[in-house]
Amino acid sequence: MLSGIKQKAIVGKDGKIELSATELAEGTIVEVIVLVESSSEEDETTYLFKSETNKKHLLKALENVEKGNLIYVDLDEYEKNYL
């Protein structure tokens, strides 16, 4: 069985990263994956606007919202009927 531990850490001198996992027994073999947060995070809209196709889809969606062209879905009702 696979389980996970999520922690934030700060890279120290010489690239050293220290983690503390007291819930793991000494000698436990683990695999470590390091995910790095971008220093200049870009919001999703800005990212999507970089593609002309995505930009057209987003602008069309905004236009539909402004015109009231919306479809409402009752998720509970949908689950009862289709899942």
- Pick from 24, 26, 27: nearest CA to 3: 24
**How confident is the model at residue 39, as a pLDDT?**
64
pLDDT string in tens for the chain (83-residue length): 778 888 888 899 999 999 888 888 999 999 889 888 776 667 788 888 899 999 999 999 999 999 999 988 899 998 988 88
**How many C-beta neighbours within 10 Å does residue 58 have?**
15
pTM of the model: 0.40
Tokens 């220093």 found at: 39
Tokens 């436990």 found at: 28
